[in-house]
Amino acid sequence: MGKRTSWRQKSVVTLSLVVGGLVVPWSLSDVEATEAAPSIHDIQSESHHSPYDGEQVSGITGIVTYLTYDGFYMQHKEENYDDNPATSEGIHVKTWSDVSVGDEVTVDGQVTEAVQDNFAWFDFSNDLSVTSILADEVTIQSQGHALPTAVTLGEEGRTIPSRHIDDDQLSSFDVEEDAIDFYESLEGMRVSAPNAKVVMPRAEYTYYDETAVVVPNGTSTIVTPAGGIAIEGDRNPERILVDDYSQNMRPVNVGNTFKEAITGVMGYEFSNFKLMTDGVPNVKKNTFKPEKTYLTGSEEELTVASYNIENYYNDGSGKTNEIAKDIVKNLQSPDIVGVVEMQDDNGSDSGGTDATANYQALVKAIEKNGGPSYAFTDIAPQNNEDGGQPDGNIRVGYLYNPERVSLVEGVKGDATTAVEVLDDGELSLNPGRIDPTHEAFQGSRKSLAAQFSFDDEIVTVIANHFTSKGGDDALFGAIQPPQRHSEVQRVKQASVVNYFVDQLLKEDNDANIVVLGDMNDLEFSDTLNALEGNVLTNKMESMWKKHRYTYNYQGNSQALDHILVTNHLADNTVFDVVHVNADFTEKDGRVSDHDPVLAKLFLDD
């Protein structure tokens, strides 16, 4: 909306006075004609930006509904609503005034539109702004009022748009079609989420606990076995993030349902609209448990897994044993495990980059849990050159069962020397990094190729951990449609690996090649398309859509971890995602933020 005329206007009034029989004109330039003070819905308007931004307002009244660290939210009494669902009846007030929930207050101050301050590595400059009143004066008129009735979300009240976050680059304000406009129309208002089902396990932060839920909304989604929602092209805009500032939220897993409606105020922070509350109801737990794969190897069948173990180092906690149990019990001791996010032996403390002690601790724990005595190999990175947690020096590497497979004899590479494909299809280094000085891998993990021998067959495995999605525009940010800036580097990395596979196949068109790891992208993304090219098949796409996830981000279950094989192996490869982490909290066994993936290959001579 454009700028509106100020609500307080000055008029010039001309009077005619009769003085001594003469008519004398008299101008009163200081006489003011004053309109009524704006309502909250006038300030909020049908827009993401208030037409009153920067203006002084007086006499804004409402009931205090929620207290924040820098003020409070207030909302009109219901008799003062404008009956327009596109305008919010609530607003944030920035003040140090001492008020209580239920107070009726009058506020004088300046309307502001502001985004959250940046801190650490978080950049909020492209967030939506929050409409607030920077209060000069807050007057308590009365106390003990009942709070305005919360707006019910979903099919029992206001249906949440589920097809689009935004479909017009924020050029129009359409609360029926665009979820970003729908939530904006509720900014600062009390809302209620009835029959809410958890679609993201509880996350604990410094000042609040967070989860994501969906409510019955009269729309269809792909439901995962745990009860979550699988990511689709629309990114499931009906997800509702819930922030509990009481920090008393019990651990909740995907598929749990809250026994009562979650009620709070719709706010916006950390690039998302959020239902802010000071406590949530109890949940009814579902019956979904961590999975165990049905895939096991045989004399002619090789099992290969990929597992992102999330910044692992042997810190003396129970994490080592929990990962070992996953590998032995849930993954059935694969012949080869591509390990992702192995840190160096001192974790995020400064020092060397070697990870030998970490591997040894993990191997020992696997043995204690009844697994094989794995051997291991990797190439340590240069200090702080491969991204991730500072001084952690994460890398990819391999565990392999020497009773089943052997690492082909060769010279081990180093951090900066590129492995080459020799005339006979062998690797010049084993293991060896793929083009580690290429610009595509700057500041990111390097891909690691290794050749193994199994049942008189050579299998080349390439472990990867492509660059993260950090720096992408937020789904509910001010840039619409959001741009995936990080994808440019991932596509380059995928292209480098694809070219390496091409070179192997030129030397041996029947080469057995497995490409695995955390690609940090979805099966239908440009990254995976570039990686596949015309020579690889992504086995993630063989799964039913409801099973295609290894990671949960803000309630979207999605596949970031993949296993691809050369096309001639595709029909002889069976694939599984083993859901042991993404749906759960640590209380129920979560040991990483990723689920492992596993493939069984039949290598036919």
Q: Can you spell out the DSSP letters for 303-357? A: EEEEEEEEEE---SSTHHHHHHHIIIIIS---SEEEEEEE--TTTTSSS----HH
Q: Which string of b and e fits 455-480 if b means at least 16 CB within 10 Å?
A: eeebbbbbbbbbbbeeeebbbbbbeb
Tell me if 516 sits within 8 A of 564, measured CB to CB: yes
The arithmetic mean of pLDDT across residues 493-498, rounded, is 98
pTM of this prediction?
A: 0.92
Is pLDDT above 50 for 1? no
**pLDDT at position 23, please?**
52
What does the longest C-alpha to C-alpha distance in the chain come to?
A: 124
**Structure confidence by residue, pLDDT tens digits, 383-433:** 999 999 999 999 999 999 999 999 999 999 999 999 999 998 999 999 999
Report strand pairing: 556-558 vs 229-230.
parallel
Q: What percent of the chain has pLDDT over 90?
A: 89
Q: Hey, where are the domains in the chain?
A: 151-284, 301-602
Q: Tell me the Ramachandran region of residue 364: left when phi exceeds 0, alpha when psi lies from -120 to 50, beta otherwise.
A: alpha
For 382, other C-beta atoms within 10 Å of its C-beta total 13
Is pLDDT above 80 for 119? no
The arithmetic mean of pLDDT across residues 353-365, rounded, is 98
Q: What are the φ/ψ torsions at residue 507 (nearest 5 degrees)?
A: -80, -30
> Distance (Å, rounded) from C-alpha 185 to C-alpha 93?
17
Half-sphere exposure of 173 (CA within 13 A, CB side): 17
| CATH architecture assigned to 301-602 | 4-Layer Sandwich (3.60)
Is pLDDT above 70 for 468? yes
The arithmetic mean of pLDDT across residues 122-127, rounded, is 91
151-284 CATH = 2.40.50
The arithmetic mean of pLDDT across residues 478-490, rounded, is 97
**pLDDT at position 48, please?**
97
Is pLDDT above 80 for 535? yes
Note the Cα 438 to chain centre separation in Å. 28
Signed CA dihedral, 526, 531, 535, 537: sign only: negative
Is pLDDT above 90 for 188? yes
For 433, other C-beta atoms within 10 Å of its C-beta total 24
**pLDDT at position 25, please?**
52
Is pLDDT above 60 for 29? no
Is pLDDT above 60 for 21? no
CA dihedral 547, 549, 554, 556 (to 10 degrees): -50
594 closest CA partner among 308, 323, 331, 339: 308
Is pLDDT above 80 for 585? yes
**pLDDT at position 28, please?**
42
**pLDDT at position 7, please?**
40
Residue type, 63: I
Is pLDDT above 60 for 65? yes
Looking at per-residue pLDDT, the higher value among 520 and 605 belongs to: 520
